[in-house]
Structure 1
């Protein structure tokens, strides 16, 4: 192969090695020919159709393949190589996309930084321009003031000299005693340009001309803050509507705002029908940094109301209850209602059994131990068709307060007295409750079928309590009945009906309902449930009501038979569902118009109750607190947590617990409530080391697990006797054992000896009883106790003895005491501990 100059050069032809000449050039024109040998790399290309029949050409020549590798293996390897190459391509594409995204993000950040820098530079330039403009205006003002002063001075010096040149120099400014020409066109142009950038001189509406730039917004024109663009647009829109005679600004409505002692800011804005933001702004302008959820006092709220142009109507917090209708009913609206009869009497005198016989249902079977545990309300229809409402109150002494509530809502009291047991303490309590409530009484002498029955004895015993029955020329009806045989039940119902006719019981069923809570409980699945006896009006499903410190909406009404009803009229007992909390037994239920009213009344009552409790605590003086703390040091407490099925039972248990104890031991109820025992109860009990007592309730699974882990004892009861007895026994265990002393002998000291390693030893004669080594001793000198301790030694002659009988001599030495003298008397006594119990 040759080049253009005809000289041979290195070339490549064919395959294999071949020789060639290379001409090397050196400095100074020297050259040298060198023989070189070139080799070409051999490339092996598989021939088509080579290998075994049926082989895959893509897998290569089987003959050149490593031993032990089949076609399938080669194919698998080839696929793996191809998959790896595909993954590499995908990864490269993904890396490229990620790099592109990162580059875009870096570009975006650079643009943001540049934008911020530009804005910062513009802001600095605007501030600098504003400062320069203010400085220029200040200098011009000073120059104008100085020029005016000099001109005034020149005018006083030559008053007549200014007249000839007045026209020629009109518009000029006196500077330094000379007249200065008016500003040039260039200065005027600058002024016009400045005016266009800010506000126009000839305009008085404060609008901007042209676009609002950043410099203008920051400079603020004339050194003040400009309105925003949105404000300018609103102003222009108002001006346009005014020019077109459109909607004018409506006249402000002046409202009478009811103002309590304290009010929330948002509620104040709502009552004024103003925006909350405006009210908060007005408060901040008055120096109060508040939010819409904070409470302000009435004086501050009055200032805000007057600022907004409304009228203030001061009301008391108690005025919220005025929404409860207390209007007297008209005579034509009143209609007859069933009487409410309360069964009262002593324990086990047959109250529930008597009611059971009247209504033909086994109520007593559902009560533990045959004792009525909480108030029940039932309706009974007589043979004549009239309805009677019965309240069955418990007869146990612990339920005194519940019986009192029963007497407050009742019309007639049926006093049940057992003919074989006569008048008992709780019978007297029932009589007192009935008299305090001012309701008529009917005496039912029960268990007349028993052989030991003596009705006349009952009538005579009632005379002691000013209850005179008709058979003894009195006014109180008495009926002999038997709940077992049914004897006298019809006469009892006739007596009740007769008494009801005399009372002429009436109510207005068309007004808003009002009733009394007979019982309340927290039911699993149904929530708080209240047994309500409707006294006036009609309670309907969907009514909004307030009861005590709770409120709610009637979700369901259930009568005494367990049936759902739509409404309940006067003297009808129903279970009410839909409360937000468990009310107290005896609370009054009132139906109101709106839920807001109900909530407001409930919150007011709750706050009033808190204030009352706080006031009771604050009334304690420091001396009283110190005395109480001092007294409590010597008093042992048994803390307990009580959970019951109904509110009345819980209160009765707490009252019973308060009666247990004396000056040394008392029972403290940490918490009591209605419903199942929960984990919070277990936590409280663990923190105080108290047991949890459940009355007709059980602990849920988390509470049981927690109690097992924390070692809290849970006890279940269904009869109140057992609960009270167990607590009394536990409280008795806190009593310190009583120490009793028994005098067993006296000894007279005849002589005192000094013995080495022992000290002083008294030679004594036992004058009375016996002297024992293990007993305690007192040293009497002139019948005054000067030492009390134990004996170190008791000897008879030289022997240590355990006791010395009367009339014998012995030697005694006191433990750690040597001041003994002849004629002193030693008193020997023994102590024993006696376990005490609460009565």
Structure 2
């Protein structure tokens, strides 16, 4: 313990402190020593500052805690930031300087322009003043001789004051002086000062307008007329008028006379657009003519012609059909023509081996893929022979329902190969194919098929053809005939040689370097690819990306596939291709034409669609009231079988409709409510339900929503893949609508011998069955003197007192008629039975 405890410390205040301390040692020894304690000087830093020691300590800590690389990185980042700030400041100063220079340049240009305008105005004003002064001096000189006598009789001051014109004339006539320098009387001086002020005001107004000639956004929006909005074009026109007025008057622009194409009807706005006139002016002219129309209404061609002539333009009348003029009919020059493959159509009766023969030529097997072994639609194929010749074949159906397909095939072909089976000879569709070939005026080659069969008789075929004016070479004619067999391949080289010879005679040429033109052989609606058309290119080259119009549809060639399913970029003359990219399914037989723009294609398609619609409406309207009443009366007694038809391709649907039209007679007929291409949809089911019709699908199926809807609404869906079965089933259904035929069979006669009165029954005839039998269930007629006086049924048939079902010939019986008692002795009863016989359509 220190001795200083509780005592005042020694030494000076603030100096060293001293005291005694006892030290203890071992074995009880102790020692007292004197110690001094020096105080450390404490320097208190000012607020907001830090001592150097603290800074050094803190810096030391940072140096110890922060690596050198980090310090270097931070220093470099700080230097870069300062450099960027300096660059930004310099750039900002440079941009500010550039803006100041631009503003100064614009101000200088505006001032220079203003000075130039002012100098021009001053020069014009000086010229005007000089001209005015010169005219005044000339006038004064002319009047000087006449004013000399007048000086002798000078007017009084009162007259001078009251006549300012005289004062001015006198001042101007004074020699060696100007009227402006002479003092004027007070009234004249005031008038001159007023005129001078008005002139200065007008000049200031023109200067202000000229200085404010630049058009701002606010001026364009407000127009400076109490908030009324004016267009930018109106403001520019105003500026142009002011400029021309300042330059010495308005200059009339020359009227541009235009040739205005005028259709049968035209909108007012479209008419104004074609004349390059304002629509409001056109509407105003029509109102002057007494027609209160707006710019969105249509006017007829005669009225529009008057308006065009009033505005000083020339009229060029056009028709709506002129939209098709863009389909240019190119005249091919002889130097542009190149040889093209021939198009050969295989035609003939059903089952005579057309497709099998083509299979043998193609070394393919198409017939196995045909439903029922018959061709349902036109197939287009290209074949390269061993000699290198390229041939295009069209395979047509032979069934009676496909008449239009055969006609279409004959229309686009160069050569017709008529296939006739040697064991069947000439048949109905063979004759039809001959007629199609003659109507199309194309050469024919007769292929007598199935010569490998035992019962084959080619000479019978040649003889039968003579009846239809087809004389083959073997019969001393000019039609080539070849005996072939699709099974063994016999005669195929000779057939190809005959085709090549006929093509060489025809000298088939085409120009591939022109817009394409072709014929639609077949069209269908594919689920994955959309509308697809099989097109036979006839002229030019069809390329991917071409815009075309086909019938009432248009499109752009998105892709093309050849007969082997390969994608190709272009197709030349006589090449069959499947075209994708149509906006709708065209009709089989439509012509495809390539046009320049999509707008032209759409316009032509819309015109054709409207024309077809108008034609259908005209056909429906071309009936009188009497005709409608007669048709309604006739239809009242005709039973109809409505159906809805959907097929895989356009040609099949067309053939089915034609076959349905042939079914029926005067009592019943088949009515096709709707037919189309593609899968059966809900809309087809809705139409069928509303009309109570079945839906017939030919090589198509109903989608899932359509199947569900059909199950709910009870609509029958029938699927077919062979046209035979379809026609037979529809014919059987239509036959069910026919009323059964009632046939009467006479079974016996009975003669009345006596008439008895029986209570509760009435008159009863005692009869003898003279012929046949009498049955109670049969019908009876009462004959008196061979005249029928009653027809009805029996109330009772008795033999003795027993009720019996029938009575044989030679026996007696009792008969009573139902609700009839006028029977007499000697009358004859005729007994007969009715039989219902079901009828069918042949």
Deviates more, 1:824-833 or 1:614-623: 614-623
Offset at residue 376 of structure 1 (A): 0.9
Report the alpha carbon displacement of residue 694 of structure 1 after superposing the two structures with TM: 0.6
Shift of residue 276, structure 1, vs aligned partner: 5.8
| Aligned positions of 1:254-273 closer than 5 A | 254-265=257-268, 267-273=270-276
Structure 1 residue matching 2:773: 3-state secondary structure: strand
**Which residue in the other structure is 1:692 paired with?**
695
Residue in 2 aligned with 1:576? 579
- What count of residue pairs does the alignment treat as equivalent? 625
TM alignment of 1:806-825, pairs within 5 A: 806-825=809-828
For residue 431 of structure 2, give the secondary structure of its aligned residue in structure 1.
Answer: helix
Secondary structure at the counterpart of residue 677 of structure 1? coil
Write the distance in 2 (CA, Å) between the matches of 1:236 and 1:258. 33
Q: Who is 1:547 aligned against?
A: 550
1:562 equivalent in alignment to 2:565? yes
User: Is the aligned partner of 1:460 residue 2:463?
Assistant: yes
Could you tell me how far 1:480 is from its partner in structure 2? Answer: 1.6
Equivalence for 2:143: none
Q: Given the alignment of the two structures, is residue 831 of structure 1 paired with residue 834 of structure 2, yes or no?
A: yes
- Deviation string 1:256-310 (CA, Å, 9 cap, x unpaired) is 1222222345544443345666656765676656666654322233344334443
The aligned runs of 1:500-519 (5 Å cut-off) are 500-519=503-522
Match in the other structure for 1:352 = 355
Q: CA deviation at 1:251?
A: 4.2
Q: Secondary structure at the match of 1:373?
A: coil
Question: Alignment partner of 2:644: what SS?
Answer: strand
How is 1:789-808 mapped onto 2 (pairs within 5 angstroms)?
789-808=792-811
Superposed CA offset, 1:236-259 (max 9, x none): 434323235599775443221222
Equivalent position of 2:529 in the other structure? 526
SS in 2 for 1:607: helix
Query: Does 2:668 correspond to 1:665?
Result: yes
Q: Which of 231, 238, 241 lines up with 1:239 in the alignment?
A: 241
Correspondence 1:723 to 2:721: no
**1:671 deviation in Å?**
0.3
Q: Quote the Cα distance in structure 1 between the aligned partners of 2:801 and 2:708.
A: 68
In structure 2, the residue corresponding to 1:599 is in which secondary structure? helix
Residues 488 and 270 of structure 1: CA distance in aligned 2, closer, same or farther (over 3 Å): farther
Match of residue 403 from structure 2:
400
CA distance in 2, matches of 1:402, 1:550: 20
Residues 61-140 of structure 1: matches in 2 within 5 Å? Answer: none
Q: Distance in 2 between matches of 1:292 and 1:520?
A: 43
Q: Among 418, 427, 435, which residue is 2:438 paired with?
A: 435
Aligned match of 2:381:
378
**Which of residues 774, 777, 782 in structure 2 aligns to 1:779?**
782
Which position in structure 2 is the counterpart of 1:470?
A: 473
Call closer, same or farther: CA 1:236–1:441 in 2, change over 3 Å: closer
Partner of 1:337: 340
Shift of 1:319: 2.8
Question: 1:89-144, CA deviations, whole angstroms, 9 ceiling, x for partnerless residues?
Answer: xxxxxxxxxxxxxxxxxxxxxxxxxxxxxxxxxxxxxxxxxxxxxxxxxxxxxxxx
Task: Give the drift of 1:693.
Answer: 0.7
Deviation at 1:832, TM superposition (A): 1.6
Q: 1:297 to 1:830 in 2, by over 3 A?
A: same
State yes or no: 1:614 paired with 2:635. Answer: no
The farther-off stretch of 660-669 and 753-762 is 753-762
CA separation of 1:229 and 1:534: change in aligned 2, threshold 3 A: closer
What residue number does 1:759 align with?
A: 762
Q: Does 1:415 align with 2:444?
A: no
Q: Is the partner of 1:757 in helix, strand or coil?
A: coil
The offset of 1:616, in angstroms, is: 2.0
With 362-371 and 244-253 compared, the bigger mean Cα shift is at 244-253
Report Cα offsets for 1:738-777 as digits up to 9, x if no partner: 2111111122223333322222222322222111111111
Aligned counterparts of 2:556 and 2:294: Cα–Cα separation in 1: 31
Shift of the alpha carbon at 1:696?
A: 0.8
1:632 aligns with 2:608: no
The aligned residue for residue 645 of structure 1 is 648
Moved more, 554-563 or 654-663: 554-563
Any idea what the Cα deviations from partners look like across 1:53-106, whole Å, max 9, x if unmatched? xxxxxxxxxxxxxxxxxxxxxxxxxxxxxxxxxxxxxxxxxxxxxxxxxxxxxx
2:622 and 2:294 map into 1 onto residues whose CA distance is: 34
Correspondence for 1:108: none
1:117-196 matched pairs, under 5 angstroms: none
1:176-227 alpha-carbon deviations (Å, 9 max, x no partner): xxxxxxxxxxxxxxxxxxxxxxxx9xx9xxx9xxxxxxxxxxxxxxxxx999
In structure 1, C-alpha distance between the alignment counterparts of 2:585 and 2:319, rounded to whole Å: 27
Matches of 2:292 and 2:788 in 1, distance apart? Answer: 76
Greater radius of gyration (CA): 2
Tell me, in whole angstroms, the C-alpha distance in 2 between the residues paired with 1:496 and 1:550: 36
Counterparts of 1:527 and 1:278, CA distance in 2 = 49
* 1:474 match: secondary structure: coil
Cα distance in 2, alignment partners of residues 352 and 568 from structure 1: 25
1:519 Cα deviation from its structure 2 partner:
0.7
Long gaps (5+) in structure 2: 1-161, 164-201, 210-224
Determine helix, strand or coil for the equivalent of 2:701.
Answer: coil
CA separation in 2, counterparts of 1:718 and 1:765?
64
Check 1:776–1:467 CA distance in 2 against 1; reply closer, same or farther (3 A cut): same
Secondary structure of 2:394's counterpart equals strand
Alignment match of 2:491 (pick from 483, 488, 495)? 488
Secondary structure of 2:455's counterpart equals: coil
Q: How has the CA–CA distance of structure 1 residues 447 and 271 changed in structure 2, closer, same or farther, with 3 Å as cutoff?
A: farther
Q: 1:451 to 1:229 in 2, by over 3 A?
A: closer
State the Cα distance separating 1:233 from its structure 2 match.
5.8
CA distance in 2, matches of 1:293, 1:556: 41
SS in 2 for 1:591: strand
1:362 alignment partner, SS class? coil
Aligned counterpart, 1:53? none
Q: Distance in 2 between matches of 1:288 and 1:640?
A: 51
Please state if 1:708 is matched with 2:711: yes
Question: Is 1:319 aligned to 2:326, yes or no?
Answer: no
Distance 2:408 2:622 in 1: 30
Match of 1:126 in 2: none
Normalising by structure 1, report the TM-score.
0.70
**2:300 maps to which residue?**
297
Could you tell me how far apart the structure 1 residues matched to 2:606 and 2:687 are?
Answer: 27
Distance in 2, Cα, partners of 1:700 & 1:490? 47
Give 1:495 deviation, angstroms: 0.7
What is residue 597 of structure 2 aligned with on the other side?
594
Please say which of residues 806-815 and 296-305 is displaced more in the overlay: 296-305
User: Following the alignment from structure 1 to structure 2, what is the Cα–Cα distance between the partners of residues 615 and 651?
Assistant: 22
Structure-2 change in CA distance of 1:610 and 1:363 (3 Å): same
Higher mean alpha-carbon deviation, 478-487 vs 673-682, is at 478-487
Q: 3-state SS of the aligned residue for 1:741?
A: strand
More helix by share: 2
- Greater shift, 591-600 or 239-248, is seen at 239-248
CA-based RMSD: 3.0
What SS does the aligned partner of 1:574 have? Answer: strand
- Structure 1: which 5+ residue stretches go unaligned? 1-168, 171-199, 208-224
Give the secondary structure class of the aligned counterpart of 1:349. coil
